[in-house]
A and B are shown apart, each in its own frame.
Chain A
Amino acid sequence: MEQKIIVNMKNITMSFSGNKVLDNVNFDLRRGEVHSIMGANGAGKSTLIKILNGIYNTPFGEIEIDGKKVNIKTPSDAEKYGLAFVHQELNVCNDMTVAENMYIGNWIRDKYGLYDKKATSEKAKELLNIMGVSIDPDVPVRRLRTAEKQIIEILKTLTREAKVVILDEPTSSLNEAEKENFFGILERMKKKGVSIIFISHFLEDVFRLSDRVTVLKDGLNNGVFYRGHYTKDDLVVAMMGKKIANEVSDTLTISEDAPVILELQNFTSEKKFSNVSIKIHKGDIVGVCGLLGAGKTELAKAIFGIDDYDSGKLFLYGEEIKKPRPDLMIKKKVALLTEERKLEGFIPLMSIKENTTLSIMKTLANKLGIIYKSEQERFANNISEQMTIKMSSINQSVISLSGGNQQKVVIAKCLASEPKLFLLDEPTRGVDVYAKSEIYKILRDFAEKGTTIIIFSSELEELLANCSKIIVLKKGQVVDEVSAKNLTKNSLLSMIG
């Protein structure tokens, strides 16, 4: 039986300063359905959702909810119609309890109209049980892991009796085990009759979860796919208009005689990682994989000198580094791409020009520290072109770029210093499939020119496709070091789990 249509967006058209971002897009959502929206960066996904949320208003097109035409002018209108949005960035109050976060702004009152702490906690517990989540409702949210915080955000929508939940990239910070748990929760929500709009770059997750997938391309609806009637390749073709070759870099073989670039001996930082001993050879692309909390980020940050470590030795090009520090490591031609792009990657108000040249300013200035402007511009233009950053000019501020292009700017910033050792922590999170393949290509080019690359990632496909060997971290310890050749995703999964 076809379920009733809850949300129906008809002929939505939207332009920004003359550019059509959405062109006659139709989108509908049925009761108890998971309907995914996919598309490359800039395809119009977020614009469509922002129109539904009331952040953007457009006179072109209609929105119907439960068959009635509505006018959503502000986010509070959207809430009134039972639409709940869970954004990629988490909006939790860290020092309030789990229960309080779930009922925030929607407080349960006692008979005197005062806040009823006990009832809130009980109701929260009930909901957590129904959804099969084992989180104590009375602990402060600060103590939860990111994945758990995300679950709390989603459950928050249920306390508001939302009919439609819109999830923006909800799985990007989840590891495989957490994903399972998360999908289970979504299944239970569906059974309760909640409809879900799922926006994601992750083909696997979309494929697995969706009843229907709408693919946007350049502001046009480029196809609707029904469960069981399409393949992942169909989605990629619809998104990109071309097939992305799944290149496997089986040509990358590094002989054991190549000079050792980085060596760690019993590298230990209490509660983060312990006794990590690895050797990385010149020109290699090595993957470090593990679940969230396995110590990947912590290890990367300790090598680069952002965080301290307790004991162990670090050798760079055979020379021992006693106390690494970011500015020293950059001088020694090491670069780090950090995991949190927005928090640690770039200076939002500064231009592409300034961000890409941030760590090499000394080479673009005279002894007194006065910057040679034209050289800075030439350099920024060159590297932006090399990195295929889509921009109006190098003076555009980085915050106005799409996620994939922001990431390219951050990578450009790292590569600007011509690193001999390049550490990347989750390099393609929140980046669309096409930009991903471009980033991989750039990394491989640099590896061929002799840059040694270490990718810290929880995306197994990424590691399998790009690395020559993979170091497996589990609870802060190296449990295995395997050649990526002939390794399958499942065997790798069993190692990290």
Chain B
Amino acid sequence: MQQKINRLKSIFGEDIMRLAIILAFLIVMPIASPYFLNIKNMMNILQNISLQGITAIGMTIVIITGGIDISTGGVCAFTAWIAASLMKSGTNWMLACVCAILIAMVCGSINAFSIGIMKIPPMIATLAMMNMTRGLQTVISRGTTLTGLPESFQFIGQGLLFGIIPLPAIIIVVFYLSASWFMSRTILGRNIYAVGGNPEAARVAGIRNTRVIFFAYILCSVLACIAGLIFVSRTNSAPATLGNNLEMRAIMAAVIGGTSVTFGGKGKIMGTFLGVIIVGLITNALDLLGVSAYYQQFIQGVLVLSVVILEAIRTMRVARQH
């Protein structure tokens, strides 16, 4: 029994606060809105968080390497738009998606090249990539929205399993479980933590830091692209505003999830998952309560600040005990 409790503690110990927030929602919200606990609404939440949720996986990994990637919104928009326009011109949708992912890989490689080899600060390197991708997307889209995509492609975003569970909800859960397993159980995953925790020590231990950096940034771009494709499929449209603020929402989820932006090597995929869920719950709750979108953004800001401050207090306490 004691062992079980310890195990639970080691899994959830750092996530108590996040779980408590989620629990608070599950208790309070049904009183405020009877519609909240409806299974359809729950599925709706999972579906709605898929865009920033999948992007946040890559973001968390990049932040753990000690970097940041603010080009994810741009990469997402650019690649998803290309995929959509290829489909419109009659290309097979799978081929179009593969093209988009390949372009995302190129974007990620350029980021990694600037950061890992040219040693440009991640914020600057990815800022440039953000501008390039956003710029190109504006050029080719000219501000228009593409709709009317192939039905078979729409199935990814709109399909239902057992007639109730939307595919994006399944995809996001599967992605998080595999990413979490990958980060804790594979050499590459642990190397990501090592490189972020102390790049010099990692190098001395024979880890090839540049490779790890390349992997992280490419993965981050590819996940942003996949997130964009799912979004386009779900809404059957590729709007010019696709992925606006996506990078900020992904960073927000990672930070609420306990990933440290101050120094690398600290963070958990499942923490980010909880972070994504918290953001999703809040948005949903505020929607149900009829709060305007402008307030929502403000409330999200308040939430990030309070979580980060609470986390800081906890860290200080732990530091004092040692």
Contacts and interface: CB of A to CB of B under 8 A. Distances in A.
B157 to A, nearest CB: 31
**Across the A-B interface, the 6 shortest Cβ-Cβ residue pairs:** A330-B206, A347-B197, A327-B206, A344-B200, A359-B205, A369-B187
A349 B207 contact: no
Interface string B166-201: 000000000000000000011110110110011011
A365 B187 contact: yes
Interface string A361-401: 11001001111010000000000000000000000000010
A120 B198 CA distance: 38
Interface string B288-322: 00000000000000000000000000000000011
B31 interface: no
Contacts of B322: 400
A312 interface: no
A17 B321 CA distance: 8
Nearest to B264: A349
A245 interface: no
5 contacts: A327-B207, A338-B204, A348-B197, A349-B266, A354-B193
A330 B265 contact: no
Given A348-B265, A354-B194, A361-B190, 12 more contacts: A306-B203, A327-B207, A340-B200, A343-B201, A344-B204, A354-B193, A358-B202, A365-B186, A369-B188, A371-B185, A371-B186, A371-B187
The majority secondary structure among interface residues of chain B is helix
B208 interface: yes
A327 B200 contact: no
Residue of A17, A331, A348 most packed against chain B (CB within 10 A): A348
Nearest to A350: B197
Given A306-B203, A346-B201, A413-B205, A358 B187 contact: no
A16 B319 CA distance: 13
Contact of A347 (B187, B198, B321): B198
A362 B187 contact: yes
A299 interface: no
Interface string A320-351: 00000011011100001010100111111110
Interface in A4-57: 16-17
A56 B197 CA distance: 27
Residue of B185, B186, B201, B205 most packed against chain A (CB within 10 A): B205
A327 B186 CA distance: 18
Interface of B: 185-188, 190-191, 193-194, 197-198, 200-208, 265-266, 321-322
A361 B187 contact: yes
Given A16-B321, A326-B206, A327-B208, A347 B186 contact: no
Q: How large is the interface on A (under 10, 10 to 19, 20 to 34, 35 or more residues)?
A: 20 to 34
A369 B190 CA distance: 10
A374 to B, nearest CB: 12
B200 A354 contact: no
Contacts of A17: 321
Residue of B187, B197, B204 most packed against chain A (CB within 10 A): B204
Given A326-B206, A327-B206, A349 B185 contact: no
Contacts of B204: 304, 306, 326, 336, 338, 344-345
A343 B200 CA distance: 7
Contacts of A400: 322
Contact of A354 (B185, B190, B203, B208): B190
A330 B207 CA distance: 10
Given A327-B206, A336-B204, A345-B201, A350 B194 contact: yes
B186 A349 contact: no
A327 to B, nearest CB: 4
A371 B181 CA distance: 11
A342 to B, nearest CB: 9
A349 B66 CA distance: 13
B190 A349 contact: no
Nearest to B211: A327
A345 B205 CA distance: 9
A330 B322 CA distance: 35
Contacts of A343: 198, 200-201
A345 B200 CA distance: 8
A346 B265 CA distance: 12
A370 B190 CA distance: 10
Contacts of A413: 205
A151 B309 CA distance: 38
A17 B320 CA distance: 12
B321 A359 contact: no
A359 B194 CA distance: 11
A358 B205 contact: yes
